[in-house]
Structure 1
Amino acid sequence: MDSTSARRLTVLKGHLECKGVSPAACNSMQSSAPMSSSKNEVQKAFPRERQDVVKWNGWGYKDSGFTINDKGNAQFLGKRYAIGGQELPYFRKWMEDNVSLDINQTSFSQPRPPPEAIPAPNLPSQAFIDEITHHCKTYTDTPDDRVFRSHGHTCHELFSLRTGKVGRIPDLVVWPRTHNDVEVIVQAALKHNVCLIPFGGGTNVSGALQCPPEEQRPIVSLDMTEMDKILWIDEENLTVCVEAGCVGQDLERRLREVGFMTGHEPDSLEFSTVGGWVATRSSGMKKNIYGNIEDLLVRVRMVTPRGTLERNVLGPRNSIGPDVQHFILGSEGILGVITEVTMRIRPLPETRKYGSVVFPSFQPGVNFMREVARQRCAPASIRLMDNWQFQMGQAMKPAVSLFKSFTDALKKLYITKFKGFDPYEMVACTLLFEGSAEEVAANEQKIYEIAKRFGGVPAGEENGRRGYLFTFVVAYIRDFGFDYTYLAESFETSVPWSRVSELIRNVKSCVRKECSQQGIMVQDQPLISARVTQTYDAGACIYFYLVFNYAGHNDPIRAFDEIENAARDEILASGGSLSHHHGVGKIRKQWMEQTISRPGVEILKAIKDRVDPQNIFGAGNLIPN
């Protein structure tokens, strides 16, 4: 027996355990294994009826979000997050002062449309249903299930839902449970000319899940979240094989039970799936140590109309021509359905420590980030926020004790008076260190020494912790804004270091100019903010937030689309990429030829035509019309 077959492959409680078998053999056994019914199995993130837990027309959990309480103060609801249940006494005033918030000017969401208001499904033939029934015992055409899986989280999609505009939606939702189920469904769709759109966490912000309105065939949504098992963990070679429908937070929790982690932590970790990470080429907040998804990927299986595409080896590198797995990475559901992903894992770090630094203005902060990248000493996460985000973070602090208020005032006095920092210019950088105690201590010392060279002042562990965890609640602010006539969106790019500051300046100027032309320029509006979120040797990722009040505008979504398009034009003109990690979907595909050249687009089309000549995977993403 060779070393591969002799080693133990650990599989978590409640799932089949493979001992003394190869990964391929373990895959085969797992594909035919029934779902576990163990009472001891940890409950997964979401039940099949995830709309019972998650908002149908907004971000995140139904029981979480910002509101104005009876005392007129902002408050975060629920108990899922660190700020849950806490009153935020400074946030409302900051919103009033900076974006002209008027809590009497509301635009609360319309109720969920009644079933009779939802277009009747154009169901596939009975022959299709009969063929998939034995391999997919759960399917539905109920309006709630169909609407929930008809959209992602672009501003356009959510605003439309909140105003009662549903549009084209899937006609049927199915839940495959194994790789073999998916193969049968794809072949049935091919035989009966059915359009398939894979659905994972539904968190994409590129319009990728929108059903093409011109599609006349029945559209079937493949909800992959029943395929959420960890198939095996190879502790010797530090790899895990997981089904593509596993939600990120579930994967990390299960790995922690046996002392491991992937280290992949996108902002959407709570809701996005492993298959979605691969399909969109995602990036996480801790990529500096653990890498982006393409760095973590070892092997992937995808069912296409031509059959299952996979690589037969688990070696760390191969010289076998163009890597077919890179056709799957970033394919955005146009070639097939990702069913299994093998990823690299790491033992849990011994030490995890937060930190933060404040700088007098944005440029010294950028110079600091560039030097950290040059010396290749970046901690797990390092993110530089501009003054707008710094101010908002301070405004979102909860009510504190008198002593805490006093000590915070002393710190502010030191930074603003004795160090000469202007509160309306200063910026903050949040840090997360992971590793052994010795590694973290050495990394901290080096990072703070570099920061000092660029005028940075350490701002404490707690500010770093709050800044890092703030990432998981910031998306809820958009839903709060929707309630008070605001539109908001994030968009991102990557750019060489020499163009970082120039690109940010140009995009902010462009957005303000376009808003003015669209009739959106009230007091200090719009608010356009930026942060540097990931660093590389040759450049960085820049993440923008755009917020404006649309009250009185006749067609706010059209205006928003034109503003966002103008921003993307400016990003490309300033040397930025089309996307760093959000992907292309439908809303950015008009720039693909400009980005990868006409021959590049023709190669994509040739692959699509060869792999899926009937356009079974007809979501219409990535490739321009």
Structure 2
Amino acid sequence: MADLAAALSELSEALGPDAVRTDGEALDRSSHDSWPLSAKLDRLGSHRHRADAVVGVADERGIRAVLSAAARHDVPVTVRALASSVTGQPLPVRGGIVLDLSALPDAYEVDAENLTVSVTAGHNGGALEDALNARGLTLGHSPQSLYRSSVGGWLATLATGQFSSYYGGIEDLVTGYTVTLATGETLRLKASPRAAMGPDLRQLFLGSEGTLGVITSVTLKVFPLPQTRLLQTYELPGVEEGVALLRAQAAAGLRPFLLRLYDPAEARHALQDDTLTAPVLFTGTQGPDAVARAEADVLDALVREHGGRALGPDGAEKWMARRFDFSSVENLLAQDGGYAETIEVAHTWRGVLPLYRALTADLAPLADEVLAHFSHVYTQGTSLYLILRGTAATDEEAVARLERIWETAMRTALAHGAELSHHHGGGLARSPYTRRSLGASHLLLRRLKHALDPNGVLNPGKLGL
């Protein structure tokens, strides 16, 4: 039986009374993240996902103390760092403790010879990227939330960045990390540069959303800043031709660092031109000058084969300058009745166009605008990113509309056999659909959970657990 009072008493003694907060302000603040539904509930003063206490820690010792006390007293623990999640990963659903990592020190060390950086998990990603840029290096990982998210959060949510076609997702960029288990034990998982001694155990915690352990420090690859970057904007005859082009360049083995195909609805926003009626493609190649130019020429020829025409670099350059700006969604959410949502899924080349047509049609009655783009491309398929914008009569109606949007999108994606998330993770938004999405493999996840967290105290209610 859970004994919250005993756990908090132990933690106050071990970490100091200021580390443990049970006041309403702290509990309310930790009951929301960057999920649009959560933002609307916050405006309404509705705190559906509220902990019983917030415990702040400043080092790994504090993390171990919280997890050990929680395990002894059967108290749920939900990890929170910078709370940039847009699907509800850091929101507690069974009360208990929110383990606040935001006070962990920002520390990093670059290994210039081995081209890695070791960093504390709570470190702001944008601050780290800026520090590396000053040394002529880059992480290669560039999510829209770069300046709002933590390094550990990238691993916990299996994140990817805007330049994934070149650098890959976080699973391709991490070489090792330290994780603390529910029991308080700490493990180091690594492969330098690759290892074949048994299964790659690093994969166990990537995307686990704090349900299996708490990531405390990370070692990532770094790369020299590219000598040359070349940008271009194209107009294409239709979405079908655009998707065919994405597939052709992937099959050809090209590696553009930027590759974003916008359907006509989003193209008008991407180029800030309401007269557009055709899809638009942003491309970018990089590397040694000769390589970047050669790849740009090959890509240009492919675009023309698919009926595209160059519009010049201006559109892509302007997007690069504002690519971290989330204000259009936030401003709409701040209005009475305003709502917006971002949902990303993924499918094979055979399945993605039927999925695109079905999702845009099924979601159209639920929003004033349904925008779509394809922005992470693989040999076998691509991601599909949807942005929905609308205005309801009240915030209460906006909440109901957002809930219907998620239900509709997940139902349609499941019907088409699509991946329910490409890079935002599951969180609360997708947890009800996890078992249907993973199918029989969810049994493996449940067995891992039981082995690593037998009392089920770590972030319950996520990933269908």
Shorter-chain TM-score above 0.5: yes
Does structure 1 residue 582 correspond to structure 2 residue 390? no
TM-score normalized with structure 1 length: 0.69
User: What corresponds to 1:569 in structure 2?
Assistant: 411
Q: Would the aligned equivalents of 1:240 and 1:345 in 2 still touch at CA under 8 Å?
A: yes
- Quote the offset at 1:375 in angstroms: 0.9
- Once the two structures are superposed, residues 222-263 of structure 1 have per-residue CA deviations (whole angstroms, 9 ceiling, x without a partner) of 224423210x22211111111100111011111122221110
Q: Would the aligned equivalents of 1:533 and 1:543 in 2 still touch at CA under 8 Å?
A: yes
User: What corresponds to 2:181 in structure 1?
Assistant: 304
SS of alignment partner, residue 125 of structure 1: helix
Give the one of 587, 603, 617 matched to 2:444.
603
User: What corresponds to 1:334 in structure 2?
Assistant: 211
Q: Would the aligned equivalents of 2:118 and 2:220 in 1 still touch at CA under 8 Å?
A: yes
Give the one of 357, 365, 375 matched to 1:533.
375
In structure 2, what is the Cα distance between the partners aligned to 1:434 and 1:201?
31
Q: Would the aligned equivalents of 2:124 and 2:149 in 1 still touch at CA under 8 Å?
A: yes
SS of alignment partner, residue 195 of structure 2: coil
Residue identity in the other structure for 1:162: R
User: What corresponds to 2:298 in structure 1?
Assistant: 446
In structure 2, what is the Cα distance between the partners aligned to 1:241 and 1:272?
17
Q: Would the aligned equivalents of 1:361 and 1:425 in 2 still touch at CA under 8 Å?
A: no
Between the aligned residues of both structures, percent identity stands at 26
Structure 2: runs of 5 or more not aligned: none
In structure 2, what is the Cα distance between the partners aligned to 1:159 and 1:396?
29
**Cα 1:202–1:396, aligned 2, differ >3 Å: closer, same or farther?**
farther
Does structure 1 residue 259 correspond to structure 2 residue 136? yes
Residue identity in the other structure for 1:326: Q
Q: Would the aligned equivalents of 1:176 and 1:227 in 2 still touch at CA under 8 Å?
A: no
Q: Would the aligned equivalents of 2:144 and 2:325 in 1 still touch at CA under 8 Å?
A: no
In structure 2, what is the Cα distance between the partners aligned to 1:597 and 1:332?
19
- Quote the offset at 1:554 in angstroms: 6.5
- Quote the offset at 1:470 in angstroms: 3.6
User: What corresponds to 1:125 in structure 2?
Assistant: 8
User: What corresponds to 1:75 in structure 2?
Assistant: none
**Cα 1:428–1:483, aligned 2, differ >3 Å: closer, same or farther?**
same
In structure 2, what is the Cα distance between the partners aligned to 1:195 and 1:132?
18
Residue identity in the other structure for 1:228: D
Does structure 1 residue 199 correspond to structure 2 residue 80? yes
- Once the two structures are superposed, residues 14-64 of structure 1 have per-residue CA deviations (whole angstroms, 9 ceiling, x without a partner) of xxxxxxxxxxxxxxxxxxxxxxxxxxxxxxxxxxxxxxxxxxxxxxxxxxx
Q: Would the aligned equivalents of 2:342 and 2:388 in 1 still touch at CA under 8 Å?
A: yes
**Cα 1:475–1:536, aligned 2, differ >3 Å: closer, same or farther?**
farther
In structure 2, what is the Cα distance between the partners aligned to 1:166 and 1:594?
28
Residue identity in the other structure for 1:290: Y
Q: Would the aligned equivalents of 2:66 and 2:99 in 1 still touch at CA under 8 Å?
A: no
User: What corresponds to 2:58 in structure 1?
Assistant: 177
In structure 2, what is the Cα distance between the partners aligned to 1:507 and 1:278?
28
Structure 1: runs of 5 or more not aligned: 1-120, 398-422
User: What corresponds to 2:435 in structure 1?
Assistant: 593
Give the one of 289, 294, 299 matched to 2:166.
289
**Cα 1:360–1:318, aligned 2, differ >3 Å: closer, same or farther?**
same
**Cα 1:141–1:254, aligned 2, differ >3 Å: closer, same or farther?**
farther
Q: Would the aligned equivalents of 1:493 and 1:578 in 2 still touch at CA under 8 Å?
A: yes
Aligned length: 462
- Once the two structures are superposed, residues 284-313 of structure 1 have per-residue CA deviations (whole angstroms, 9 ceiling, x without a partner) of 111122110000111111101234453465
Residue identity in the other structure for 2:374: V
Over the aligned positions, Cα root-mean-square deviation in angstroms equals 2.4
Q: Would the aligned equivalents of 1:199 and 1:221 in 2 still touch at CA under 8 Å?
A: yes
Does structure 1 residue 433 correspond to structure 2 residue 285? yes
SS of alignment partner, residue 343 of structure 1: strand
Q: Would the aligned equivalents of 2:44 and 2:395 in 1 still touch at CA under 8 Å?
A: no
In structure 1, what is the Cα distance between the partners aligned to 2:434 and 2:363?
22
**Cα 1:186–1:379, aligned 2, differ >3 Å: closer, same or farther?**
same
Give the one of 363, 372, 397 matched to 2:249.
372
User: What corresponds to 1:509 in structure 2?
Assistant: 361
Give the one of 14, 17, 35 matched to 1:154.
35
SS of alignment partner, residue 325 of structure 2: helix
- Quote the offset at 1:172 in angstroms: 3.5
In structure 2, what is the Cα distance between the partners aligned to 1:313 and 1:285?
25
SS of alignment partner, residue 444 of structure 2: helix
In structure 1, what is the Cα distance between the partners aligned to 2:49 and 2:284?
43
User: What corresponds to 2:351 in structure 1?
Assistant: 499
Residue identity in the other structure for 1:574: H
SS of alignment partner, residue 534 of structure 1: coil
Q: Would the aligned equivalents of 1:209 and 1:619 in 2 still touch at CA under 8 Å?
A: no
In structure 1, what is the Cα distance between the partners aligned to 2:131 and 2:276?
44
**Cα 1:139–1:443, aligned 2, differ >3 Å: closer, same or farther?**
farther
